Amino acid sequence: MRARAALTAAVLAGLLAGCSAHRDSPARPSESAISRPASPTAGPTDSAGARPAKSRWKPRPGLAWQWQLDGEVKPTVDVPVYDIDGFENSRADVARLHAAGRKVICYVNVGAWENFRPDKDGFPRSVLGSTNGWAGERWLDIRKLSVLRPIMERRFDMCRDKGFDAVEPDLVEGYGNDTGFHLTAADQLRYNRMIADIAHARGMSVGLKNDLPQVPQLLADFDFAVNEECAQYDECARLTPFVEAGKAVFHVEYKEPPSAFCAESRRLGLSSMQKKLELGVWRKPC
């Protein structure tokens, strides 16, 4: 859950109408089809490479979930999936959720630098761009794969070592925003696929956060989707490829009440609820 800054004039020329975004709600550009072979879905092998290790989690459509990014998790909601902040929760927190039979997703910002994270000094100034509208955050130059990859690998190592089942990488659509860099849709595809590969190499599943224009190109690389406000912007049907592929779509609305979107969510097979912007414990599910 992070805002997207206003689009530049150059990006505005290629906008798709009505794309959702948190707070500022800018539209996002269309992008030309860029094909890539489907990523393998098998789990990692053991150290000897002799047999498959435990397969990574593949959430199915319709799973109820809780999304709490405001501080340490409070496991008071009886649902099978929790999405929580990777830095602010411990291995013990994840273990308690597992003991209660829940799968746990690790929220990590991969598209913006945050001055409140313990690894903030590991980002060179050359990759820091414009502010994204949230205090203490600046867009990253996702074209610098060789610089950002080891940083993100360490963050995903943290998620793996704490026992998380999956990762929710946030802000993976910088190409549609005024980042301070000349990012293209192709740049974003390369970066997003790198992020998915990092998660899969660690045995974790990974979700595509928003970035609806690139769903057709990234469906094979991601195991589920996380979406904000598709009902408000009348674009939830664009997530149908995930559902048809047997992959969960975890969806929230902030302004729209459940009465305005739950019927369509059920028809489309989305896992939907209303949340407040701060993403605390409160939720109103469909």
pLDDT of residue 198 exceeding 80: yes
Residues 230-242: b if buried by 16+ CB within 10 A, e if exposed: bbbbebbebbebb
- β-strand partners of 227: 251
Closest-CA residue to 156 (of 109, 226, 88): 109
Tell me the average pLDDT across 134-156.
97
pLDDT of residue 99 exceeding 60: yes
Name the residue with higher pLDDT: 33 or 172.
172
What pLDDT does residue 71 have?
84
Rounded CA-CA distance 61/244 in Å is 9
Domain extent listing, the chain: 9-29+59-285
Kindly report, residue by residue over 255-264, the tens digit of the pLDDT: 999 999 999 9
Kindly report, residue by residue over 121-133, the tens digit of the pLDDT: 999 999 999 999 9
What pLDDT does residue 7 have?
32
What pLDDT does residue 139 have?
98
Q: What is the mean pLDDT of the chain?
A: 86
Kindly report, residue by residue over 242-258, the tens digit of the pLDDT: 999 999 999 999 999 99
161 CB neighbour count, 10 Å cutoff? 11
Closest-CA residue to 131 (of 178, 191, 176): 178
What pLDDT does residue 251 have?
98
Name the residue with higher pLDDT: 221 or 42.
221
Rounded CA-CA distance 106/127 in Å is 24
Tell me the average pLDDT across 19-38.
33
What pLDDT does residue 6 have?
33
Report the CATH fold assignment for 9-29+59-285: TIM Barrel (3.20.20)
The pLDDT confidence band at residue 54, using thresholds 50, 70 and 90, is: low
What pLDDT does residue 263 have?
98
Tell me the average pLDDT across 230-244.
98
> Which runs of E-coded beta strand occur in the chain?
65-68, 81-85, 103-109, 112-114, 128-131, 137-140, 166-170, 205-209, 224-228, 249-253, 271-274, 284-285
The half-sphere exposure of 69 on its side-chain side, counting CA atoms within 13 A, is: 14
Rounded CA-CA distance 224/102 in Å is 16
pLDDT of residue 35 exceeding 60: no
How is residue 69 written in tokens? Answer: 């990014």
Q: Are 136 and 116 in contact (CB under 8 A)?
A: yes
Rounded CA-CA distance 173/22 in Å is 12
Percent over 90 (pLDDT), the chain = 80
Percent over 70 (pLDDT), the chain = 81
The pLDDT confidence band at residue 53, using thresholds 50, 70 and 90, is: low
pLDDT of residue 8 exceeding 60: no
